[in-house]
Amino acid sequence: MYFNRNMITNGSKIYKIRVKYARSKNLTHSAACAVLREIVLNSGNDVLRMDSNKAWPRITFGPVLEPAADSKCEFCDIYFPSPQNAEEVKKRLNAVSKEGFEFLEAKNIPFVFPSVENLACAAEFVLEYDGKPEISKENLISSEVIEVADGKKLKIIIPLNKSREVIDGFAKFEGAKIVKENLLWRGSDGVLTPL
């Protein structure tokens, strides 16, 4: 069966660009979504609008954020009525970006590809800490202590359905610094791979 790379709605094609961005901690998911909508609207990019609310751009957001963690790997899909140059879209987004947001990558994605929210199943975090906080192994897919010049860091991979619980618990330890490094998806071979 043949699939068109772009969906046709009301006789018009829809084009999608997947954007990877970094954001600082202490933002709830709904607050981050509101900031992203504002940035997209102010960027001057010719985006599609929501059917239910024409004031909002059509965006698919990635998995729910962990407010206690900085992140280098959040994603959203932005929808357009015509083909766009992904690098130009990224430049325009960065030109009007808010404090705590930086757009790192943008790429054209066929409309039929699943959203990041549907693809991602786990997240990789790097944790810096003072002392020896305990993290229950039952909530982890894997963990590895990384020796660095100024102490130790712990790299962990957590299923997305446990990430908020584990990260909020870790954030209570003194000196805790948490960075989400990667969102991961599991291919047909069972291997976890960064998006």
For the chain, the C-alpha Rg in angstroms (whole number) is 18
**Alpha-carbon distance 70 to 33, whole Å?**
16
User: Computed from CA positions of residues 100, 176, 151, 155, in that sequence, does the dihedral angle turn out positive or negative?
Assistant: negative
In a domain, 1, yes or no: no
Assign residue 168 the CATH number of its domain: 3.30.70
Shared-domain flag, residues 27 and 89: yes
In a domain, 2, yes or no: no
SS3 content of the chain, % helix, strand, coil (to 5): 20, 40, 40
The token pair at 61 is: 């957001």
Domain with 164, as residue range(s), is 120-194
Of 86, 118, 150, the one marking the end of a domain is 118
pTM metric for this prediction = 0.83
Shared-domain flag, residues 38 and 106: yes
Of 92, 118, 144, the one marking the end of a domain is 118
Which residues, 6 or more positions from 89, have their beta carbon under 8 angstroms from its beta carbon?
Answer: 17, 19, 43, 45, 78, 106
Shared-domain flag, residues 85 and 26: yes
**Alpha-carbon distance 163 to 157, whole Å?**
9
pLDDT values of the chain reduced to their tens digit, one per residue, 195 residues: 333 444 555 456 889 999 999 988 878 888 888 999 999 999 999 999 888 777 889 999 888 888 888 899 999 999 999 999 999 999 999 999 988 899 999 999 998 888 888 888 888 888 877 666 566 666 677 776 665 555 567 788 888 888 888 888 888 777 788 889 999 888 889 888 888
Residue 20, burial from CB neighbour count under 10 angstroms (0-12, 13-18, 19+): buried
Shared-domain flag, residues 100 and 155: no
